[in-house]
Structure 1
Amino acid sequence: MKLFIGYASTEGQTQKIARHLMDRLVGQGHSVELSALSEAGPIDLSRFDAAVLGASVHVGHYQSVLSGFAEAQADKLTAMPSLLLSVSLAAAGHDAEDWRGLETILSDFAQATGWTPAEVVQVAGAYEPSKYDVFRRFVMRRIIAAKDPETDLDWDKEYTDWDALNAQIDAWVAKITT
């Protein structure tokens, strides 16, 4: 199977996740084209059997490059098996309000772009104060202090559950190849 994986990443965790996914799928014998959506240019999705798009949530939205790509490719994405990897720190927790917020973000995204992903995987991201500007570091420290009070706020911490992600991706691939 030939897959397109496109991603938008701000601090690099979504890129890391996309590369991990590419390595896993290639290791399973699939052909994969990986592209940062900011550098992708025009892509003919009809060359692929399925598409995976990944982006992180910041201030209640995905990166605009993902929205622009999804809007431009909505018809083709809808016509093929598709998966959205939604990366956020909210996905690391069990707070019902955070999860409702993620559903609202997805709904707004679908309405704005005209593309409703066939499947969505919520992936926990990372807290990376070493990569934040002063303002973002201040805001993120407050969020993490409230959500994960045991965390050392001066050090990066990855929340991505790689085993769970692998299982979800494997299940999706099995479903679309049968």
Structure 2
Amino acid sequence: MRVLIVYGTTEGHTRSLCHFAARALGEAGFPTAVQPAASGRSPPVPTPYDAVILAASIHVGRYQPPLVAYAREQHEVLNAKPAAFISVSLSAAGITPPDWETCDDCIARFEHETLWTPKAVHKAAGAIRYSQYDFFKKLALKFIAAERGLPIVTSRDYDLTDYDALSRFVTGFASEVQAPR
């Protein structure tokens, strides 16, 4: 069984998560291709694959426009085959119900905008990359992190992703797709 992972990313963390997921799938015996939703060439074609995983990160309440456009363009194919979604956000690392509700609201808006309903969804905590932020974004992220009890030492970057949970999600999804019905 072959898996296609298509992603949208702003700072590169979601791309890294997708390559990690592809390695986990490969080690579990599932050949996997990873491609960006937008790369200046034609978009990835999902039809030759047995399963598809889309991944994007939330920034200011929205996912990356190229990934949203890709899901919208491919919604009929995605709805017709096993397809999952990985939503990457700091809200997924939150410790309060409002954090989780924010993530759920973004996923619901994404489903409405794209006309695609994923068969499975995983909420992955993102990263805080202070080293990549300008003064204003660093200030905003310090505020967001402090609100959620997350690290705020701006001389360091933080990866908040639970890689074991991500690996269990992608391999479990692929195994379920492959299992006889």
What interval of TM-score do these two structures reach, taking the shorter chain for normalisation?
A: over 0.9
Aligned pair count reads: 178
Q: Mean alpha-carbon deviation: is it higher for 116-125 or for 147-156? A: 147-156
- The answer on 1:76 being equivalent to 2:77 is yes
- The answer as to 2:2 corresponding to 1:6 is no
- The two structures, once aligned, show a CA RMSD in angstroms of 1.4
Q: Name stretches of at least 5 consecutive residues in structure 1 with no aligned partner.
A: none
- What aligned pairs does 1:18-57 form with structure 2 within 5 A after superposition? 18-39=18-39, 41-57=42-58
CA distance, structure 2, for counterparts of residue 156 and residue 43 of structure 1: 31
How far does residue 77 in structure 1 lie from its aligned partner after superposition? 0.3
Secondary structure, in 3 states, of the residue corresponding to 2:35? Answer: strand
Amino acid at match of 2:110: F
Residue 11 of structure 1: CA displacement?
1.0
**1:148 Cα deviation from its structure 2 partner:** 2.1
Alignment partner, residue 116 of structure 2? 115
Tell me if structure 1 keeps the 8 A contact 2:95–2:148.
no
What are the residue-to-residue correspondences of 1:1-178 with 2, within 5 Å?
A: 1-39=1-39, 41-148=42-149, 151-178=152-179
**Cα distance in 1, alignment partners of residues 162 and 44 from structure 2:** 31
Per-residue Cα deviation, 1:41-80 (whole angstroms, up to 9, x for no partner): 2333210100011100001110101110000000000011
Please say if residues 7 and 55 of structure 1, whose CA atoms lie closer than 8 Å, have aligned partners that are also in contact: yes
Deviation at 1:99, TM superposition (A): 0.8
User: CA offset at residue 149 of structure 1?
Assistant: 5.4
Contact 1:144 1:153 survives alignment (8 Å) = no
Task: Give, as a single letter, the amino acid of the residue that structure 2 aligns with 1:4.
Answer: L
| TM-score, L = length of structure 2 | 0.93
Distance 1:2 1:118 in 2: 17
CA contact (8 A) 1:145 1:153 kept: no
Structure 2 residue identity aligned to 1:129: Y
CA distance in 1, matches of 2:150, 2:28: 39
With 88-97 and 33-42 compared, the bigger mean Cα shift is at: 33-42
Sequence identity (%): 31
Partners of 1:155 and 1:38 lie apart in 2 by 30
* Matched residue SS, 2:153: coil
Equivalent pair of 2:13/2:126 in contact (CA under 8 Å): yes
